[in-house]
Amino acid sequence: METSLENGISMATFQKFEEINAWQKARILTRQVYQITSEGLFSGDHSLRDQIRRASVSIMANIAEGFGRFSDKEFANFLNIAKGSATEVQSHLYVALDLKFISNDQFDNLYNLLDEIARMLFSLRKHLKSEGKY
């Protein structure tokens, strides 16, 4: 898929989903979520642990799946789903913070990374739309 981005993400053409900066950041996020949820009290809350892990994996999976679709309109739809998953992870972080499963610093770092990913997803979607690709 040939897509260039604006707003500081990358002006390169994507040949593979792994080249998408939002996917790269989502991969980092997922690794951090898995690390944090494997520690302390968080590891014992199987329901919240599994849900926040699934939602973080969903971000990167939907970016990749959308990239592999046949149209930019479908790609944009999957970017919307990925953004929704990012917001879901942010919500779960509040539960983890309130239950003292994570520190304020961990919350802030993950929340800010999710904000960055969401902005990248919005920018890519906006670019697809502005190019008249759907």
Q: Which structural domain, as residue segments, surrounds residue 103?
A: 21-130
Q: What is the mean pLDDT of the chain?
A: 90
Whether the CA torsion 79, 19, 111, 128 is positive or negative: it is negative
What is d(CA 90, CA 45) in angstroms, rounded to the nearest whole number?
A: 17
> Does residue 2 belong to any structural domain of this protein?
no
Note the pLDDT tens digit of each residue in 65-96.
999 998 899 999 999 999 999 999 999 999 99
> Does residue 110 belong to any structural domain of this protein?
yes
13 DSSP assignment: P
The parts of the chain modelled with pLDDT lower than 70 are: 1-13, 131-134
Q: Are 22 and 7 in contact (CB under 8 A)?
A: no
Counting the structural domains of the chain, the total is 1
pTM for the structure as a whole: 0.87
> Does residue 6 belong to any structural domain of this protein?
no
Tokens 């949820």 belong to which residue?
37
CATH number at residue 79: 1.20.1440.60
